[in-house]
Amino acid sequence: MERQKAAVILIADGTEEMEFTITYDTLIRAGIDVVSVFVPEDSSAPHSVSPPIAKGSRGINIMPDSYLDRSQLSPDKYNLLVVPGGAKGADTISKNPIVKELVKEYYTAGKLLGFICNGSLTALTAGLPRQPLTSHPGVKSVLEKDFQYSEDPVVVSGNLITSRGPGTSFPFALTLVEKLLGRPKRAEIEKPMVFPENTPWVNAPTSK
């Protein structure tokens, strides 16, 4: 029997709430086991007993499931690692040394990486090879020198999936579902979400 798919979503103070919650919720709807992991601003800070509250970019408090612990997050345990945006949150996550090491390990292992908005900076800080990628327009100038920059809502490049911002959170999350579980599962969870008729990303083929 195939093991249930599992995903890690990183979160920090300043993470964009829509990109975090829409992705988390959509993956759960698809039956994926999801854990949210708090990344501290100070990478040398000791762990506490319980995860702190992460204060999002719009001031919404979110309780993460666990702390950042590299020994618990290896690619043999998970199928997907997600980095949401939000300027401050993405800066903290993308610069964290453990995160950079994990991203390299996931990429090399062929596991999925999902970066949205400023979270795409993680592709740069982790030293991923030049390939198609997108991000929030605000960090385009930082990324376009080292990647084949695109302004598509979602860009799929092998096991790297990137997206643009809060408004592309749904197609981003649904693409992650499709890459993990196939188009039938994506279609299955899209229907009860009741998107307006002619929503462009519903039933649209995923770019390769």
Q: Would 208 be classed as within a structural domain?
A: no
Q: Tokens 């043999």, residue?
A: 76
Among candidate residues 17, 136, 178, 190, the one labeled active-site is 136
Q: Could you tell me if residue 29 is inside a domain?
A: yes
Would you say residue 27 lies in a domain? Answer: yes
Whether 206 maps to a domain, the answer reads no
- Cβ atoms of 175 and 156 closer than 8 Å: yes
Instruction: Name the catalytic one among 19, 41, 47, 101.
Output: 19
List the CATH number of the domain containing 79: 3.40.50.880
Structural domain harbouring 112: 6-193
Residue 203 lies in a domain: no
Residue 110 contacts by C-beta under 8 Å, 6 or more apart in sequence?
Answer: 159
Q: Could you list the pLDDT tens digit for every one of the 208 residues in the chain?
A: 568 999 999 999 999 999 999 999 999 999 999 999 999 988 776 665 567 799 999 989 999 999 999 999 999 999 999 999 999 999 999 999 999 999 999 999 999 999 999 999 999 999 999 999 999 999 999 999 999 999 999 999 999 999 999 999 999 999 999 999 999 999 999 999 999 988 988 876 554 4
Q: Is residue 54 part of a domain?
A: yes
Contact 122, 93 (CB under 8 A): yes
| C-beta separation of 13 from 88 below 8 A | yes
pLDDT of residue 43: 75
pLDDT of residue 111: 98
Q: What is the pLDDT of residue 145?
A: 96
From 16, 17, 117, 178, the catalytic residue:
117
Per-residue pLDDT, 51? 72
Q: Report the domain count for the chain.
A: 1
SS3 37: strand
Is 47 considered catalytic here? no
- Answer yes or no: is 169 within a domain: yes
136 in catalytic set: yes
**Is 62 within a domain?**
yes
| Burial group, residue 6, by CB count within 10 angstroms (0-12, 13-18, 19+) | middle
